[in-house]
A and B are shown apart, each in its own frame.
Chain A
Amino acid sequence: MRDFACLFSDLDETNKTNEKVAVLKEYFLSVPDEDKIQTLALFTGRKPKRQINSSLLKQYAMEMAGIPTWLFEESYQVVGDLAETIALLLPEPAGEQTKSLSDWIAEIRSLVNFTEEDRRSWLLNAWDTMGYQERFVFNKILTGSFRVGVSQNLIIKALADISGLESATLTHRIMGNWDPLSFSFQELLQEQDASDDVSRPYPFCLAYAIQETSDKQKTADEIEAELGNPAEWQAEWKWDGIRAQAIHRKGTIFIWTRGEELATDKFPELHDFLLSLPDGTVLDGEAICFSEGKPLPFNVLQTRIGRKNLSKKILAESPMAFIAYDCIEFNGEDIRHKTLADRRRILEQLHSDSPHQDVFQLSPVVEFNSWADLYELRLASREYHAEGFMLKRLDSPYQTGRKRGDWWKWKVDPLSVDAVMIYAQKGHGRRADLYTDYTFAVWDGDKLVAFAKAYSGLTDKEIRQVDNFVKRNTIEKFGPVRTVKPQLVFEIGFEGINKSNRHKSGVALRFPRILRWRHDKKIEDADTIEVLRAMLGEHSS
């Protein structure tokens, strides 16, 4: 595992993509094949099952470091990452270890037969043989959260260079239901087709944003300058559900989310429709709650997704549909190379042949003659429960991943209010030393009532200014939270608003963030709770 730990420190030591790829290649060329496939598994989210839960992990770490619980928790708050916190707190090791990554993962898997006490001594012994960097990656594997600043794309690029295979081919091969114990590195490099793994989805084609939320609105003319002739484009509403790939092969069905999670069981309503599709069909679309011919707001779906058991009540309250917008496999053949126009004709045919048109919805093509038309229509997106438009070039293939040019998302501008900052808290990880997490309030009569927390949206320079203000204008401290003098006004943007009994303000916002600092506004100019309540009427179920 020393190689694997070194890989991490080497990756951390550069910001340049090319150098990261070089480091990865060097690593892949120097470790045995079982470590290669294990590494690939970890970087693509296929980690061993968690054997020691995080409260025990914390307990053992505190024991070894000899610090009280509160100090551990505050350290965790400062660092923001459990694996890193523990690695930083543990005392110097007594020994060292020479096991490979695969050896360690095999040991972790074998813990399933251990008693709690045996797991504890196994862990303390393991920690006592590792330096900081080894402990860090080891803890990452144990805690099962393996997002560590290296994108899958970089790994693929390194492997593609080594193996001589195309990145797109590799990206496709590592999708789906594989396990590093049963899938070898040699198999990864071998020629395959869809029949090798009937569950395997295709890499999703992703869109770039035509205008970032913080950007100035793009005008119809600017869109025209960028995208050209509107006749070459297909516009669809951008649905606010869960992007999913639905597969029917050889009598079995699979529903994969965009995060590559298998969610077939989460959507029983879709099963009959999928089974009725011809064998060898893969659709790309949106799993979304849908009732009386209309999508329901995202929070309905969110509530349902959170449930372990889908009760009758949940199924009745949040019925699912699949809004299909693409067909990428037809008759068992990969048709991603065909043009969007061709694929759309196939999709429409599948739809018209389907006996389940209530569940199998077709994402309607929005007719428009000019970008100005579309610009106007976009302003009404929320009435359709859409987030704006997707614009797709009619003659484009279905790309692997995010490629600039053929697919664009043109989102509607967020809802917004002007609000006063009333509490601040230090950030963690990236911003452990600065006050970066703020709570905002609007007026309710002559009182300020908190309604949202927001973390993002300011520049580093602005964050330092706000941090400076917080440190000098603290009224009270409650643990890590400071009450600050109400003086700064910010414009807070959000994607949606819903009633909430859990919040004092009575509303819950979706994806709140800071749009800008309103230096020009005094706290008296901030919005009132009535403004939010009015939005509630207009923009929620």
Chain B
Amino acid sequence: MAKPLLQFNDCGIYCAAGDFYIDPWKPVNDAIITHAHSDHARWGNKRYLAHQLSREVMKYRLGEIQLETMDYGETIYKNGVKISFHPAGHIIGSAQVRVEHKGAVWVASGDYKTVDDGISTPFEPVKCHTFISECTFGMPVYKWKPQEEVHGAINKWWRKNAEDGKITFIAGYSLGKAQRILQHLDQSIGKVFMHGVIANTHEALLRNGVKLPEAHRLTPDTKKEDLRKAIVICPPSAIGTPWMRKFQPFAFGYCSGWMSLRGAKRRMAADRGFVLSDHADWNGLISAIDATECECVCLTHGYTASFARYLNGIGYNAHEAHTYYGGDELMQEDELPAPLVDEHGDVITEGPVNKEGSALL
């Protein structure tokens, strides 16, 4: 049997035929990046290839890197392996990477959602033999409501807060969620401000030619009267900080797919939890996989074991792959590319420990 076109090794998703990696978690020579979130676009690679809309954000986050970009639908070859990008609908510039060699077609989707969020290029299914999929929300309890309802609820809540004389804080990932929230705010209610890290990402996207609604950077000089009736978009890491407490009275809401569980909402101690995710829900995952007409599914992160079992039950050949993507969408600090750390916060240079220590048990 021929070697699989893409393999999971210690460094990432590797294409031996083309000698490149997709979203590597350890430094390699050639890295193809599905999108600019820190668990997919890490520092330390020699050469990067990403979608052109990821360019400025990656430069902002990773500094001076050797970066090539291309657009959706464009094709390049590496050592005879055909590579193209296709919209993943996850965030601005997110791409599924299609890889073709000797008749075998694989698609590494990175993170994706099937709903058109009005700001990212909408997801397009790509036919393939093997589909590498996330399943962050791969349990049937996760079903998203139509986003118009959610955005409507956010605006209604903001309006109520403004009437009650409270500043509204809304938290979400600085890349992706923040722009999606901004896009759908009803600016007749009040002014929109951004926490510094959101503003940095916002400006990087503007440099990249992305059109975004008006929003102001919140600075120490921002006048109090300007904040009356305002909404501030902030990253999850700002929650509960002394910075935020200065703005009393305020109401604080959180946007995440995890908010569909009452328990998660309680943990965040948010005034409001809005179920808004840039990942596919249960039905979205199944319909996306179905549309690829693939035979094989590799699940990289999320409820991989359960979702694989379900897919196997409905006729796919699905299995789990060990990767370092995803994890805790709720609390992840996505502002800087995160190196792997151990329990003391030290950077791990070795790969994951497998069998060591098992003799003790």
Contacts and interface: CB of A to CB of B under 8 A. Distances in A.
Contacts of B286: none
Contact of A13 (B139, B258, B272, B357): B272
Interface stretch (A69-77, A121-129, A229-237): A69-77
Given A84-B261, A464-B331, A477-B305, A486 B141 contact: no
A65 B142 CA distance: 13
A465 interface: yes
Interface residues of A, number: 52
Interface in A63-96: 65, 67-68, 70-71, 74-75, 78-81, 84-85, 88-89
A66 to B, nearest CB: 9
Interface stretch (A209-217, A240-248, A309-317, A468-476): A468-476
Given A89-B141, A475-B355, A477-B305, A486 B361 contact: yes
Given A13-B272, A88-B143, A447-B361, A471 B327 contact: yes
A467 to B, nearest CB: 7
Interface string B317-330: 00000001001111
B140 A486 contact: no
A13 B161 CA distance: 12
Nearest to A8: B262
A70 B261 CA distance: 20
Interface in B118-150: 139-143
A30 B264 CA distance: 31
A74 B258 CA distance: 16
B340 A433 contact: no
B361 A429 contact: no
Contacts of A483: 358, 361
Given A14-B271, A88-B260, A432-B263, A475 B140 contact: no
Interface string B340-360: 111111001000111111101
Nearest to B240: A460
Nearest to B157: A13
Given A71-B310, A477-B305, A485-B357, A467 B262 contact: no
A502 interface: no
Given A15-B269, A15-B271, A74-B306, A464 B361 contact: no
Contacts of B342: 469, 472
Interface in B93-137: none
Interface in B11-70: none
Interface in B238-278: 258, 260-267, 269-272
Contact of A70 (B269, B270, B309, B343): B309
A430 B356 contact: no
B262 A428 contact: no
B188 to A, nearest CB: 23
Contacts of A467: 327-328
A475 B356 CA distance: 8
B356 A485 contact: yes
Interface string A431-443: 1111000000000
Contacts of A156: none
A149 B354 CA distance: 42
Nearest to A76: B141
Contacts of A472: 324, 340, 342, 348, 352
Nearest to B313: A68
B341 to A, nearest CB: 7
Nearest to B164: A19
B36 to A, nearest CB: 21
A487 B328 contact: no
A68 B312 CA distance: 13
Given A88-B140, A433-B330, A468-B327, 8 more contacts: A84-B261, A430-B264, A446-B360, A460-B267, A472-B348, A475-B355, A475-B357, A519-B344
